[in-house]
Amino acid sequence: MRVIRLIAGAVFKESVRDRVPYAMVVFAVLLIAASYLIGQLTAGQDMKTIKDLGLAALSIFGLFIAVFIGIGLVSKEVEKKSVFGLLSKPVSRTQFILGKYAGLVMTLAVNLGVMTMAFFAMLYYMNATTPAGVRAAWPSPAMDPRLLLAIGLIFAELMIVTALALFFSAFSSPLLATLLTLGLWVAGHFNADLRNFENVVDSAVVVAVARGVYYVIPNLAPFDVKAEVVYGMPIAMRAVSFTLIYAAVYIALLLTATVTIFRRRDFK
Amino acid sequence: MTSAIETEALTKEFRVGFWRPRMHCALDALTLRVEAGEVFGFLGPNGAGKSTTLKLLMQLIYPTSGRATILGRPAGDLDVKRRIGFLAENPYYYDYLTVEEVLAYFARLFGVSGAAVAARVGAVIEDVGIEAYRKTKLRALSKGNLQRVGLAQALINDPEVLFLDEPMSGLDPIGRHHVRDLILKLRQRGRTVFFSSHILSDAESLCSRVGIMAQGRLVACGLVSEMLAFELKGWELVVSGLSDDVAGRLRTRVRTITPLTHARFMLDLPPEAEPETLIGELRATGAQLVSLNPVRETLEDYFVKQVSAAKPRT
Amino acid sequence: MSAATVDSRPSNRVGYVAIAVLMAASIGVQIVRDRGWAPFVPPDPTLWLQSGRVAEKVFLGYRHLVADVYWMRAVVYYGGKRQRAGAQQQSRAPATANFEQLYPLLDLVTSLDPHFLVAYRFGAIFLAEPYPAGPGRPDLAVQLLERGIERDNGRWEYFEDIGFVYYWWIKDYQKAAEWFKRAGEQPGAPAWLEPLAATTLAQGGDRQSSRLLWTQLLASDVEWLRNSAQLRLRQLDAMDQIDELNRRIQEFEAREKKRPTDWRQVGLPSAPLDPTGTPYRVNPKTGLVDLGPGSILFPLPR
């Protein structure tokens, strides 16, 4: 435990100082600021646009950070052999992986937190500068606390992506790991279409395969409650709870698989 | 008495090639024993299997067959790892952490805590001579300094057995001198040092025993003095700032003078010459010593003979 | 963490078991959640890019790939809606399927990939289909196909399809014949288009020319077109059969001054079956033959 905490702390220190995630956060904040201008262009849809854009920015930039740091901190480490330094210490390979993951999640949380604060600052500004009449017409309030739920789910989704990045880093090169992680992220969002396959395709075999794939690859679409939150529609808390449980289980699955592979690997 | 390091028919084969894989034997049935307190030099050309052996001992890779033990426990045992230190070839740590931070991190991994951390870190920083760079981020360090940091992290836990893979690589002569002193100091303290190198002169001066690897096999192992006739064939002295008339005067005492780049000259001295005296005289004329290497053809001969005799593995 | 032996790599049996258990658990959680829950679909789904023109510029080199993606969405969207709509019809609930997004989606797909033949043709056929199977917009169908002509080098298929829409859905036989004729004039057009134009003009709405049309579509390489054609042909067969049966019944009535009580009286060994094998039924009020209940040929055209 202590070892895991130490490794996590080192990962956090290292990645917080790394320039690329820093740049991502800056970009995201700029985009959120720019969304105000974009909102002006959409004729009355400005609050919706700002929320849409803001949440999308958090999602996309969060994704880049998760993938970049995740891959960088393990795949790169294996390539550059700094992993030798750690593994020759009284540190088991399991502790190595768990410590890395904990550190990555901490970094992600901080980055996402900064972006969220910028986002809410923007919303506060919008709220303060819009007349009451217009505000009443908004489908959901500016500083809607449900936005935090949406962001929380985004964070949960990114925790899965980070675990994915870590998993692929355990056995492939940085480039391949990046491609696989991003590929599965895309596939995970189109997953919902797989579920509808049986409505459209006749072959029972294809439907069975589609169903199988749907269940196995990370199902990321349910983490996206942006539409409900922006439209002020109710969110099924039962579904959300199950989705969070799914996240926990899937992350555990990925970490177990990562440790299993990592333990038997040769580091040439 | 348990040995410090022991291997028994340790073998490692790698699959090479993707489409029609064949097995490449990187290490072939290595059987070796290093006693506590020894300084053991593990010599051989590149690709001989030295790094492979070290990685097997650290359990960074797994053997195909055979065993390895350190201090009586199987290699890779976590308790044993508390008592050893390892320096990899071309080490890389963490770009954005400072020297102090990295060393403190490693110290804490060993269970050192509180004020003792700063004390240990300070001690090893001094030992390797990197005080000037305490607070520098690792990405800003030169290769030589990075090597010193590597040494420092290997010593952070005051290990009983120290494993070094090419410890002199990337170091300037002062650095190498430092390392040599360090190893001797450790030897005095009764520590065991196992290091690999392809620079033979280092091995000679430091090691009690050496092992010579070629093509994955141990082709010779034993006391240095037993293996070699220690015939000195001459000296290679590199100086700079040699003026022409001084060079002229030297011609009787040296066999050849070869100009090198950067206004340096290599003087080839016969074995009976006393290089220390000559260096002193040259210093008086304003020349500077760059390096002095004994030429022991015997060791080279012996090494080359052993290495070329080793038939390549299929 | 115990020491691992050096002779072999650490055993991963625990790991494999854990992975299997966790995988099963993750699937289980999903199954439980998915019961009675479907992802939220916004009331008017925002296709961020409604304009094909904008999309063209945005996606640059990847247009065809993006077109494929949108096409997949269109298929799933349409397929899903059809299924829901079909289910609603069976439960006699009012049709609430709205296909508003179908045309924009198809517009997007064909803007990004102007040569996407199937998208034009699929779109046209199903845009024209009336409720509950489609939005019932033959005008949009023609519009889409006209765009196909404009962008995809005037392939004869588009002309023919427009003719078809006019023929079958709009029932403007004059226009249909015109389009069939123009189709016949395009390079690569099959030889039967010209005579079809002539027949349509002469007899438009006639079962014979309809049969001709559908028979041609039977040879199509697009599966759902083939299936559609097969269904339509069977419907035409059924209509022919019904006409013949009714003719015999009326002949009998005229002769015997009463309705037949048995099929053998009109010269049939047993109850006649429609082309799908469902027995016809006799309407007790009119004494005439009708499609049996549950026949998939229902409703017969016109």
Q: Which of B60, B95, B105 sits opposite A10 (nearest CB)?
A: B105
The answer to whether C33 contacts A215, with C-beta atoms less than 8 Å apart, is: no
- In chain B, residues with a C-beta closer than 8 Å to the C-beta of A81 are 88, 90-92
Mapped to the 3 state alphabet, what secondary structure does A123-150 carry?
A: HHHHHHHCCHHHHHCCCCCCCCCHHHHH
Q: Given this model, what pLDDT does residue C3 score?
A: 35
Q: What is the DSSP letter of A112?
A: H
C91 pLDDT higher than 60 = no
**Contact state of C6 with B73 under an 8 Å Cβ cutoff:** no
The Cα of B75 is separated from the nearest Cα of chain C by a number of Å equal to 7
Domain ranges of chain C: 52-205, 220-302
Nearest CA in chain C to B75: C6
Q: Please give the Cα distance from A92 to B78 (Å, whole number).
A: 7
For residues B52 and B288, give the distance between their C-alpha atoms in angstroms, rounded to a whole number: 40
Instruction: Compare CB distances from A267 to B60, B86, B92 and report the shortest one's residue.
Output: B60
**Is C108:C62 a contact under the CB 8 Å cutoff?**
no
Q: Which residue has the tokens 């790939």?
A: C65
Domain C52-205 has CATH 1.10.287.110: no
CA distances from A43 to A47, A49, A52, C42 (A): 10, 10, 15, 20
ipTM given for this complex:
0.81
What pLDDT shows up at residue A251? Answer: 95
DSSP code, position A250: H
pLDDT at C88 over 60: no
Q: What is the DSSP string of chain B?
A: ---SEEEEEEEEEEEE-SSS-EEEEEEEEEEEEE-TT-EEEEE--TTSSHHHHHHHHTTSS--SEEEEEETTEETT-HHHHTTEEEE-SS----TTSBHHHHHHHHHHHTT--THHHHHHHHHHHHHHT-GGGTTSBGGGS-HHHHHHHHHHHHHTT--SEEEEESTTTT--HHHHHHHHHHHHHHHHTT-EEEEEES-HHHHHHH-SEEEEEETTEEEEEEEHHHH------EEEEEEE---HHHHHHHTTT-SEEEE-STTEEEEEE-TTS-HHHHHHHHHHHT-EEEEEEEE-HHHHHHHHHHHHHSPPP-
- pLDDT at position A225 is 83
DSSP state of A233: -
Q: Over its length of 314 residues, how does chain B's per-residue pLDDT go in tens digits?
A: 678 888 888 888 888 777 887 888 888 888 989 888 889 988 888 778 888 899 999 888 899 888 899 998 888 888 899 999 999 887 777 888 899 999 999 999 998 888 899 999 999 998 888 889 989 988 898 888 888 898 899 999 999 999 999 888 778 888 888 888 888 888 888 899 999 987 777 777 788 888 888 888 888 888 877 766 556 678 888 888 888 888 788 788 888 888 888 888 888 888 787 888 888 888 888 888 888 888 765 556 667 777 777 666 54
Nearest Cβ partner of C18 from A195, A231, A256?
Answer: A256
Averaged confidence pLDDT in chain A: 83
Would the CA dihedral through A258, A264, A267, A268 be positive or negative? Answer: negative
User: What pLDDT, on a 0 to 100 scale, did the predictor assign at position C51?
Assistant: 57
Which pLDDT value is given to residue C52? 57
Cβ distance of C6 and B65 shorter than 8 Å: no
Burial B273-312 (b: 16+ CB within 10 A, else e): bebeebbeebeeeebebbebebbbeebeebbeebbeebee
The answer to whether the CB atoms of B78 and C1 lie below 8 A apart is yes
CA distance C113 to C154: 15
Extract the tokens encoding A54: 């803001």
Residue A158 pLDDT more than 60? yes
Q: For chain C, what is the mean pLDDT?
A: 75
Are the Cβ atoms of C3 and B62 closer than 8 angstroms? Answer: no
Strand order in the sheet with B5-16: B22-34, B5-16, B65-70, B73-74
The number of angstroms, rounded, from the C-alpha of B21 to the middle of its chain's C-alpha atoms is 34
Which tens digits make up the pLDDT trace of C57-68? Answer: 666 666 777 777
Q: Which two tokens stand for residue B305?
A: 């003979």
Q: Which of residues 5-34 of C touch B (CB under 8 A)?
A: 5-9
Q: Alpha-carbon distance A72 to A68, whole Å?
A: 6
The angle formed by the CA atoms of residues C78, C84 and C86, to the nearest 5 degrees, is: 95
Which homologous superfamily is B5-227 in? P-loop containing nucleotide triphosphate hydrolases (3.40.50.300)
In a domain, A86, yes or no: yes
Residue reference for tokens 């051989």? B44
**Residue A193: per-residue pLDDT:** 66
CA B184/CA B193 separation, integer angstroms: 9
- In this predicted model, what pLDDT tens digit does every residue of A33-53 receive, in sequence order? 777 776 666 555 567 777 877
Pairwise CA distance, residues A95 & B190, whole Å: 32
Q: What is the fold of B234-295?
A: Alpha-Beta Plaits (3.30.70)
* Highest-confidence segment of A213-227, B176-190, C77-91, C204-218: B176-190
Q: Which residues contact C264 (CB under 8 A, 6 or more apart)?
A: none
In a domain, A116, yes or no: yes
How far is residue B165's CA from residue B226's CA, in Å, rounded to a whole number?
25
C86 touching chain A per CB within 8 A: no
Nearest to C170 by CA among C132, C127, C208, C120: C127
CA distance C179 to chain A (A): 32
A vs C: CB pairs below 8 A: 83
The answer to whether residue B59 neighbours chain C at the CB level (below 8 Å) is yes
Average of per-residue pLDDT across A146-166: 92
- pLDDT tens for C112-155 read 788 888 788 878 877 887 776 677 888 888 888 888 888 877 78
Residues 6+ apart with CB under 8 A from C175: C163, C166
- Give the phi and the psi of residue C154 in degrees, each rounded to 5: 50, 55
Output phi, psi for A43, to 5 deg: 50, 75
What proportion of chain A, given as a percentage, has pLDDT over 90? 24
pLDDT tens digits for range C185-231: 888 888 777 777 777 776 666 777 778 777 877 776 666 667 777 88
Q: Which of B81, B91, B96 sits opposite A89 (nearest CB)?
A: B81
Phi, psi dihedrals of residue C249, rounded to the nearest 5°: -65, -45
Task: Give the length of chain B.
Answer: 314
Provide the pLDDT for residue C68. 77
**What pLDDT is attached to residue C204?**
61
Name chain C contacts of B65, Cβ cutoff 8 Å.
7
What are the residues facing B239 on neighbouring strands? B265, B289
- Which residue, A82, A68, A13, is CA-closest to B98? A13
* pLDDT > 90? residue A101: yes
Q: What is the DSSP string of chain C?
A: -PPPPSSSPPP-HHHHHHHHHHHHHHHHHHHHHHTT------SS---S---HHHHHHHHGGGHHHHHHHHHHHHHHHHHHHHHHHHHHHHTT-------TTHHHHHHHHHHH-TT-HHHHHHHHHHHHPPTTTS---HHHHHHHHHHHHHHTTT-HHHHHHHHHHIIIII--HHHHHHHHHHHHHSTT--TTHHHHHHHHHHHTT-HHHHHHHHHHHHT-SSHHHHHHHHHHHHHHHHHHHHHHHHHHHHHHHHHHSS--SSGGGGT-SS--B-TTSPBPEE-TTT--EEPPTT-TTPSPP-
- Beta-bridged to residue B197, according to DSSP, are B43
Backbone angles phi, psi at A144, to 5 degrees: -60, 120
The domains of chain B are located at 5-227, 234-295
Residues of chain C in contact with residue B68, where contact means CB-CB under 8 angstroms, are: 6
Total Cβ atoms within 10 A of residue C270: 9
The range of the structural domain enclosing residue A203 comes to 2-263
What length does chain C have? 302
> What distance in Å separates residue C55's CA from the closest CA in chain B?
43
Within 8 A of C1 by CB-CB distance, chain B residues are: 78
Say if residues A82 and B93 touch (Cβ distance below 8 Å): yes
Name the token pair of A149.
């739920």
Name chain A contacts of C26, Cβ cutoff 8 Å. Answer: 215, 246, 249-250, 253
Query: Per the omega criterion (within 30 degrees of 0), is the bond before B312 cis?
Result: no
Is the four-CA dihedral B68, B71, B72, B73 of positive or negative sign?
Answer: negative
Tally of domains in chain A: 1
Distance CA A151, CA A149 (A): 5
What DSSP state is assigned to residue A224? -
Tokens (6 digits) for C124: 């046209």
Which of A195, A228, A253 comes nearest C22 by C-beta? A253
pLDDT value for B283: 86
Looking at the partner chain, which of C4, C6, C9 has a beta carbon nearest the beta carbon of B67?
Answer: C6
Q: Counting every residue, how long is chain A?
A: 268
